[in-house]
């Protein structure tokens, strides 16, 4: 946490933008193996993952003793064939051992990992998207107060029109988790006190030593000169509510994720 004379950090909750802006690897190539995208193969792979992989990589792929499988660097693209080889042969120099799975079992596991890592819009996501749409746009959850889809909604948080292009695990993390390891560049929660006595709170955009663009909770944009600022409080986290795991039931969360997974410029059936 960096502290300078006019900045003091305060605990706020993380904005959805943070998780959505986190870099993740892309597929170098996708296999034509029939297991990829097949619901039965994915279900079989999920069982194998739970018994053989979750202990190291986490039940949701978020890592543990082994690396995070969902949030990876852009410079590390993957292919289904490379994942297949890593499962069967292991990864030299790491704790990843070779397995004795058959080719069919390995492809089932690859199919599950593909569904976890690949775009949510290209996978069958459990839940009722129509119910999830009602949840997203309801005032009780407040999602649309900050986020917009296809030009409708708030401007405080990032636009979610193409959120289905992200892995489902990242979308779920963004809704539920308060994480310190996500990039907050361009989406810091800030409180500003001006020399004229005015106080503003919201999300920082394009912050520099000379100027600050701040979007307040009503979606209004303020263009500020730092020479007019008497105190700037920058948070490690941003202003998204952090209690959705309590406010939403398991079914409601599934429905919301199902709706968000369908939001993509590449329309799927």
* pLDDT tens digits along 181-226: 443 345 678 899 999 999 998 888 778 889 999 988 777 889 999 9
pTM: 0.66
Q: Which pairs from 204-208 meet CB under 8 Å and 24+ separation?
A: 204/234
CB atoms within 10 A of CB 256: 26
How many residues are recorded in the chain? 269
Q: Where in the chain is the domain with CATH 2.30.30.100?
A: 189-234
Phi, psi of 260 (to 5 degrees): -65, -35
Q: Where in the chain is the domain with CATH 1.10.760.10?
A: 31-118, 125-180+249-261
For domain 125-180+249-261, the CATH architecture is Orthogonal Bundle (1.10)
For domain 189-234, the CATH architecture is Roll (2.30)
Q: Has residue 265 got a pLDDT over 70?
A: yes
Q: Has residue 131 got a pLDDT over 80?
A: yes
Q: Which CATH number fits domain 31-118: 3.30.70.60, 3.40.50.300, 1.10.10.10, 1.10.760.10?
A: 1.10.760.10
pLDDT of residue 7: 32
pLDDT of residue 114: 86
CA 14 to chain centre: 11
Q: Has residue 262 got a pLDDT over 90?
A: yes
pLDDT of residue 162: 92
Average of per-residue pLDDT across 110-134: 88
pLDDT of residue 69: 83
């Amino acid at each position: 946490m960096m502290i300078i004379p006019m900045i003091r950090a305060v605990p706020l909750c993380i904005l959805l933008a943070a998780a959505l802006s986190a870099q993740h690897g892309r597929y170098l190539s996708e296999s034509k193996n029939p297991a990829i995208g097949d619901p039965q193969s994915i279900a079989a792979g999920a069982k194998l993952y739970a018994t053989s992989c979750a202990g190291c990589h986490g039940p949701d792929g978020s890592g543990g003793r082994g690396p995070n499988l969902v949030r990876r660097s852009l410079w590390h693209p993957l292919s289904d064939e490379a994942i297949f080889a890593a499962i069967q042969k292991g990864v030299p120099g790491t704790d990843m051992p070779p397995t004795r799975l058959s080719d069919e079992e390995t492809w089932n596991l690859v199919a599950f990992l593909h569904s976890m890592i690949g775009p949510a819009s290209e996978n069958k996501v459990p839940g009722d998207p129509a119910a999830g749409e009602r949840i997203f746009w309801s005032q009780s959850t407040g999602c649309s107060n900050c986020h917009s889809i296809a030009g409708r909604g708030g401007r405080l948080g990032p636009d979610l029109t193409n959120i289905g292009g992200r892995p489902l695990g990242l979308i779920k993390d963004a809704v539920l988790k308060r994480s310190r390891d996500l990039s907050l560049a361009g989406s810091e929660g800030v409180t500003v006190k001006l020399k004229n006595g005015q106080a503003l709170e919201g999300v920082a955009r394009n912050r520099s030593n000379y100027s600050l663009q701040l979007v307040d909770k009503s979606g209004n944009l303020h263009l500020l000169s730092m020479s007019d600022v008497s105190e700037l409080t920058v948070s490690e986290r941003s202003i998204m509510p952090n209690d959705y795991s309590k406010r939403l039931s398991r079914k409601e969360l599934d429905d919301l994720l199902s709706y968000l997974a369908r939001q993509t410029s590449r329309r799927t059936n």
